[in-house]
């Protein structure tokens, strides 16, 4: 209903004037909305994808706008689906309908993507798929179709989409770029469900203006209504088109003419729903029952509804009478209620017995027709008590949903199965399965409630260990990291006698907590037994044993033993393909300062995550890669990783995951003296205030302190810089920032702090023999040394820096040495080091340090040569990332696969790069200095 003019059929005998009409949809009063939707499609035709969320109250005309949009896009490839409230437990049901017309293109997708869609749609059994690999596959399918023709995707009642479909379509909405795709959602105000359109453009549809409302009413009623009556109806309905069209049908001629008063209330949703309900109650009982079958059906497939109607002993004539009533609409491909309010009115008014009866009939209609999930849910809706067969069917439905990545659907299936199960052991198993699914789909509170039920209902040590592991992970991400450590330790200790392998996995998780400063103080007596090798240990197990030693010794401060254990774990790590193990090896290498290893293993984990379409894991890997990229002076890569992590975090509706990358951007902005430093910090404050960060809290806060310290130091406030740097909580970040911390302390006059931090690092440097640590210790000692020893210490620092691979720290050492030499009246010697520092800081765009180096150069008697900023290539983060990948030899298709965008979008950004750089070929691009 958008407001539509009407064309009425001649009245049937006994019909009230103006009541039974058919409509020619000519929208009244919706010109601005029509123009906006039309512009969206035109933009897509020109190669600029667009997404719009049309929202408003029930009956305001959202569907009518979508209908007209589709009618006006006859030359486009139109894909359409609808959210159905009764379909919520069926993962990817709405997506399957949407993509069905593109089935012929699926074979052209990359094999993992094609398989992901087959698994998601129940066409193939086998190993589970990551939910967002289905999203990547959907994106590829849409953009492939758009190469042939502009694609218009229309999604009605998005607030009722099954969670899996909602996640996929939101992912696509955020990733579409220079593609001929328009994506339009319609959703009810205040009822988003699992559909969260945050960040997408919205069109808010409100009631019609009074003149348009009156025109719509007059087209509906003709001269049957008086002027005052029309004005009252317009005012009471607030211009809601559905109310304007439906409420008058229940008024008498005398009420319409004004001879009798109107009802005291003409409220919208409840009143319109009551109109539909009254109309259905006037139907003969067999026809009303046929209508109830359609209301309970979640397939809209005519054959299913017909078989169910026949199973109830009804006939085709009853179904046709329901269609003739105007409450049921039949097309060549569907049989469904006229409006969602009709469905809710009819279904809610039915008794529990009536509902169970029609659900049983629908289950019978579906049996043997290749849709076991719908059948299982209808059998569950028909059950009035425990039923082992229904429990088994729901368990299988949950397992299928889990394999497809439909964790919300799996949760619903397992939880309903548990409710219908009277076997205590089976009920516990099903409840735990529901708890796992709840956590997998982000429902942490529900997961904790379900896990508590499991703990209260079993004493099985293996089940309790798995429950504890999941509880620990929830605490890690959303609660108290020390509490997570306690849970992990107690679980590992308890399960060791029954399953040492399980205990080892859990113990490693506990040890990792300690390296992040999350130590509950709870001891793990079985540590010695867990780290002892056993004959026949596979590489993964041996790797975990050495990693447990390494992480435990890190927490104890025995750097030598930790390094030796890490080296053994790293050797084995190259033979392990477990993403979690690779991730933990990267973390262990970061803790122990092995820059190459931590980049390598985080890179391995990132590659595995990309291949699997595991978007959450990709975001975490990108966050962690920033550490090594920063240390290596590859600040462009830091920015790229952070921007991609932020983009993906928003794409999957996980804003909390964007906090660390935003912190990295704040740090870069402060280091480089950019104006967006404050903007990043403001975004960060909002994120921290709105979302629990769990174990990410300390890294985020320390990175924020580091950014503030850079900003303070850049403005000459050494005391302020020291204030922030002295408050670091994570030892690994304290070591990373040691050159800044110690120099800030010296420049602020706090030599005691400088010497204390230096000696702390000296123990680490001696035990690990890391060149960067040895260089930093020598540099720090030189800052506080007397005239006789400082020179040798600076030289020692630079000798270590020559092989350390940390250019920012090396530049700082050159700068400090040059300053020292100039003060010692060795101006010629100073210039060499000051030039090295100036060049390094210019390459890194470290504005404050660069200015300091150039000032020192001028003081030494040399005119500083600053690089002309106009010669630098100004690219957006996305353009830069694509340019770097293409210059490495990757094709547009390969770049698109890695970045989860379309080849057309890659080509669009590449054209921008060529234009900005004034080049015309990939060969020229490869010769550009993209750093």
Domain with 917 in it: what CATH number? 1.10.10.10
Cα 728 from Cα 735, distance rounded (Å): 10
**Same structural domain for residues 907 and 811?**
no
Confidence grade of residue 435 (pLDDT, cut at 50, 70, 90): very high
What gap in Å lies between CA 912 and CA 173, rounded to an integer?
22
Mean pLDDT, to the nearest integer, of 353-372?
A: 94
**Alpha carbon distance 651, 514 (integer Å):** 32
Q: What is the pLDDT of residues 798-822, one digit of tens each?
A: 999 999 999 999 999 999 999 999 9
pLDDT at 4 over 70: no
Do residues 843 and 882 share a domain?
no
Residues 6+ apart with CB under 8 A from 92: 120, 121, 134, 162, 164, 165, 168, 404, 406
| 864 and 912, same domain (yes or no) | no
| Residue 136 in domain | yes
pLDDT tens readout for residues 65-98:
999 999 999 899 999 999 988 888 899 999 999 9
Tell me how far CA of residue 243 lies from CA of 17, 59, 272, in angstroms. 18, 7, 6
- Give the pLDDT score at 662: 98
For the chain, the average pLDDT equals: 89
842 occurs within a structural domain: yes
Give the distance, in angstroms, between the CA of residue 922 and the centroid of all CA atoms in the same chain. Answer: 33
Write out the two tokens for 847: 């504005």
Comparing CA positions, the residue from 591, 509, 494 lying closest to residue 544 is 509
Please indicate, yes or no, whether residues 866 and 894 belong to a single structural domain of this protein: no
Domain boundary among 151, 178, 204: 204
Distance CA 611, CA 897 (A): 9
CATH number at residue 37: 3.40.50.300
As a whole number, mean pLDDT of residues 869-874 equals 56
152 found inside a domain: yes
Question: pLDDT tens digits for 110-138?
Answer: 888 999 999 999 888 877 888 888 999 99
pLDDT of residue 270: 65
Cβ(886)–Cβ(895) below 8 Å: yes
882 & 840 share domain = no
Q: What is the mean pLDDT of residues 878-888?
A: 86
* Domain boundary, last residue among 382, 400, 423: 382
Q: Which of 98, 178, 158, 101 is nearest to 134 (CA)?
A: 98
Mean pLDDT, rounded, for 827-846: 93
Could you tell me if residue 256 is inside a domain? Answer: no
Cα separation, 105 vs 184, in Å, equals 22
Give the separation between CA 490 and CA 471, rounded to whole angstroms: 12
Residue 679: both structure tokens together: 């903007």
- Dihedral sign for Cα 792, 797, 798, 803, please: positive
| Closest among 307, 303, 306 to 319, alpha carbons compared | 306
User: From CA 450, how far away is CA 415, in angstroms rounded?
Assistant: 9
pLDDT tens profile 850-861: 999 999 888 888
Who contacts 183 (Cβ-Cβ below 8 Å, separation ≥6)? 49, 50, 51, 52, 153, 155, 169, 172, 173, 176
Strand partners, 458: none
Distance CA 510, CA 518 (A): 9
DSSP H or E run through 64: helix 62-71
Percentage of the chain beyond pLDDT 70 is 94
Any domain includes 773: yes
Residues 716 and 758 in one domain: yes
CATH number reported for the structural domain that contains residue 737 in this entry? 1.25.40
User: Is the model's pLDDT at 706 over the cut of 70?
Assistant: yes
Q: Which of 745, 812, 823, 743 is nearest to 772 (CA)?
A: 812
Contact status, residue 420 vs residue 382, Cβ threshold 8 Å: no
Give the range of the structural domain holding residue 689, as residue numbers without chain letter.
649-871
Q: What is the pLDDT of residue 700?
A: 96
832 and 905 inside one domain = no
Q: Is residue 39 part of a domain?
A: yes
* Mean pLDDT computed over 343-368: 92
Contact 650, 658 (CB under 8 A): yes
Number of domains composing the chain: 4
Residue 93: closest CA among 406, 330, 443: 406
Confirm if 761 and 773 have CB atoms less than 8 A apart. yes
522: in domain: no
Q: Is residue 466 part of a domain?
A: no
**Residue 565 confidence (pLDDT) above 90:** yes
The answer to whether residues 287 and 166 belong to one domain is no
Contact 619, 654 (CB under 8 A): yes
Count, residues in the chain? 931
Percentage of the chain with pLDDT > 90? 65
Give the span between the Cα atoms of 451 and 431, in whole angstroms. Answer: 8
Beta strand 50-56 with 22-27 is unpaired
How much is the pLDDT for 5?
35
pLDDT on residue 268: 55
Q: Residue 352 burial by CB count (10 A; 0-12/13-18/19+): exposed, middle or buried?
A: exposed
pLDDT at 902: 86
Q: Are residues 867 and 907 in the same domain?
A: no
pLDDT of res. 430: 98
How far, rounded to the nearest angstrom, does the alpha carbon of residue 655 sit from its chain's CA centroid?
A: 8
Q: Please give the C-alpha separations between residue 55 and each of 187, 285, 846, 866, in angstroms, as whole numbers.
A: 5, 36, 46, 54
778 and 685 belong to one structural domain:
yes
Distance of alpha carbon 433 from alpha carbon 454, whole angstroms? 10
Query: pLDDT band at residue 18, thresholds of 50, 70 and 90?
Result: very low
pLDDT tens per residue, range 387-422: 999 999 999 999 999 988 889 999 999 999 999 999
Alpha carbon distance 142, 578 (integer Å): 32
DSSP string covering 113-161, please?
HHHHHHHHTTS--SS---HHHHHHHHHHHHHHHHHHS-EEEEEESGGGS
Q: Tell me, yes or no, if the pTM score tops 0.85.
A: no
Q: Is the pLDDT of residue 644 over 70?
A: yes
Q: Which of 16, 144, 162 is nearest to 86 (CA)?
A: 162
Which of 836, 854, 871 represents a domain boundary (last residue)? Answer: 871
The count of other CB atoms within 10 Å of the CB of residue 107 is 8
707 and 855 part of one domain:
yes
Please indicate, yes or no, whether residues 816 and 900 belong to a single structural domain of this protein. Answer: no
Average confidence (pLDDT) over 897-905: 84
Average pLDDT score over residue span 281-288: 92
């Amino acid at each position: 209903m958008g407001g539509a003019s009407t064309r009425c059929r001649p009245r049937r005998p006994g019909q009230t004037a103006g009541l039974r009409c058919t409509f020619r949809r000519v929208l009244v009063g919706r010109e601005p909305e029509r123009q906006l939707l039309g512009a969206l499609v035109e933009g897509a035709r020109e190669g600029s994808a667009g997404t719009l969320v049309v929202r408003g109250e029930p009956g305001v005309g959202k569907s009518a706008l979508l209908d007209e949009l589709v009618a006006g896009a006859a030359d486009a490839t139109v894909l359409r689906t609808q959210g159905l409230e009764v379909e919520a437990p069926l993962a990817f049901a709405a997506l399957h309908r949407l993509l069905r017309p593109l089935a012929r293109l699926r074979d052209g997708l990359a094999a993992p993507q094609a398989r992901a869609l087959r698994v998601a749609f129940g066409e193939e059994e086998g190993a589970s798929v990551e939910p967002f690999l289905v999203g990547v596959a959907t994106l590829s399918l849409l953009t492939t179709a758009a190469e042939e023709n502009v694609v218009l995707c229309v999604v009605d009642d998005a607030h009722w989409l099954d969670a899996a479909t909602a996640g996929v379509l939101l992912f696509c909405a955020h990733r579409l770029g220079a593609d001929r795709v328009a994506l339009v959602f319609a959703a009810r105000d205040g009822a988003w469900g699992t559909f969260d359109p945050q960040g997408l453009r919205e069109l808010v549809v409100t009631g019609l203006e009074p003149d348009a409302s009156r025109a719509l009413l007059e087209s509906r009623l003709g001269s049957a209504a008086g002027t005052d009556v029309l004005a009252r109806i317009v005012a009471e309905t607030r211009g809601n088109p559905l109310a304007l069209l439906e409420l008058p049908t229940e008024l008498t001629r005398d009420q319409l003419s004004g001879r009798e008063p109107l009802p005291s209330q003409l409220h919208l949703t409840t009143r319109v729903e009551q109109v539909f309900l009254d109309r259905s109650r006037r139907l003969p009982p067999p026809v009303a029952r046929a209508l109830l079958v359609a209301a309970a059906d979640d397939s809209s497939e005519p054959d299913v509804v017909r078989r169910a109607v026949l199973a109830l002993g009804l006939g085709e004539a009853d179904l046709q009478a329901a269609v003739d009533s105007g409450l049921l609409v039949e097309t060549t491909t569907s049989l469904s209620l006229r409006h969602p309010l009709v469905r809710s009115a009819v279904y809610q008014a039915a008794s529990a017995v009536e509902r169970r009866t029609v659900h049983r009939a629908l289950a019978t209609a579906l049996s043997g027709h290749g849709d076991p999930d719908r059948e299982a849910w209808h059998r569950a809706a028909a059950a009035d008590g425990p039923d082992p067969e229904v429990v088994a069917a729901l368990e299988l439905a949950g397992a299928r949903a889990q394999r497809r990545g439909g964790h919300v659907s799996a949760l619903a299936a397992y939880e309903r199965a548990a409710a219908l199960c009277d076997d205590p052991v089976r009920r516990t198993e099903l409840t735990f399965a529901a708890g796992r699914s709840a956590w997998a789909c982000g429902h942490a509170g529900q997961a904790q409630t379900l896990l508590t039920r499991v703990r209260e209902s079993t004493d099985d040590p293996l089940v309790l260990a798995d429950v504890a592991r999941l509880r620990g992970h929830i605490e890690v991400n959303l609660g108290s990291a020390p509490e997570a450590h306690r849970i992990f330790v107690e679980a590992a200790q308890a399960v060791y006698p029954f399953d040492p392998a399980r205990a080892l996995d859990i113990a490693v998780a506990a040890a990792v907590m300690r390296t992040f400063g999350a130590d509950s103080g709870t001891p793990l007596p079985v540590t010695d037994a867990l780290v002892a090798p056993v004959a026949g240990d596979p590489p993964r197990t041996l790797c975990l044993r050495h990693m447990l030693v390494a992480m435990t010794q890190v927490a104890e401060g025995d750097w030598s033993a930790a390094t030796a254990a890490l080296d053994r774990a790293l050797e084995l790590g190259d033979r392990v393909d477990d993403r979690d193990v690779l991730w933990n090896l990267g973390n262990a290498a970061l803790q122990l300062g092995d820059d190459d290893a931590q980049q390598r293993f985080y890179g391995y984990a990132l590659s595995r995550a990309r291949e699997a379409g595991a978007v959450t894991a990709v975001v975490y890997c990108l966050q962690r890669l920033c550490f090594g990229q920063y240390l290596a002076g590859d600040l462009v890569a830091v920015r790229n990783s952070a921007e991609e992590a932020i983009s993906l975090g928003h794409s999957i509706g996980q804003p909390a995951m964007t906090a660390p990358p935003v912190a990295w951007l704040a740090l870069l902005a402060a280091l480089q003296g950019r104006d967006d430093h404050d903007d990043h910090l403001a975004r960060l404050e909002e994120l921290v205030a709105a979302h629990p960060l769990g174990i990410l809290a300390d890294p985020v806060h320390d990175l924020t302190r580091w950014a503030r310290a850079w900003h303070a130091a850049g403005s000459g406030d050494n005391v302020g810089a020291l204030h922030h740097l002295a408050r670091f909580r994570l030892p690994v970040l304290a070591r990373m920032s040691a050159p800044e911390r110690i120099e800030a302390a010296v420049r602020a006059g706090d030599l005691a702090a400088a010497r204390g931090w230096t000696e702390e690092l000296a123990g680490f440097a001696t035990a690990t023999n890391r060149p960067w640590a040895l260089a930093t210790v020598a540099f720090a000692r030189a800052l506080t040394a007397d005239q006789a020893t400082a020179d040798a210490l600076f030289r020692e620092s630079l000798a270590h820096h020559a092989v350390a691979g940390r250019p920012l720290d090396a530049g700082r050492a050159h700068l400090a040495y040059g300053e020292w030499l100039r003060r010692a009246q060795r101006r010629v010697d100073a210039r060499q080091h000051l030039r090295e520092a100036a060049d390094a800081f210019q390459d890194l765009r470290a504005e404050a340090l660069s200015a300091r180096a150039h000032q020192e150069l001028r003081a030494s008697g040399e005119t500083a040569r600053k690089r002309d900023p106009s010669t630098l290539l100004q690219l957006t983060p996305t353009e830069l990332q694509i340019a770097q990948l293409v210059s490495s030899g990757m094709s547009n298709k390969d770049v698109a696969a890695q970045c989860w965008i379309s080849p057309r979008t890659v080509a669009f950004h590449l054209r921008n790069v060529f234009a900005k750089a004034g080049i015309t070929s990939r060969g020229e691009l490869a010769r550009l200095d993209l750093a």
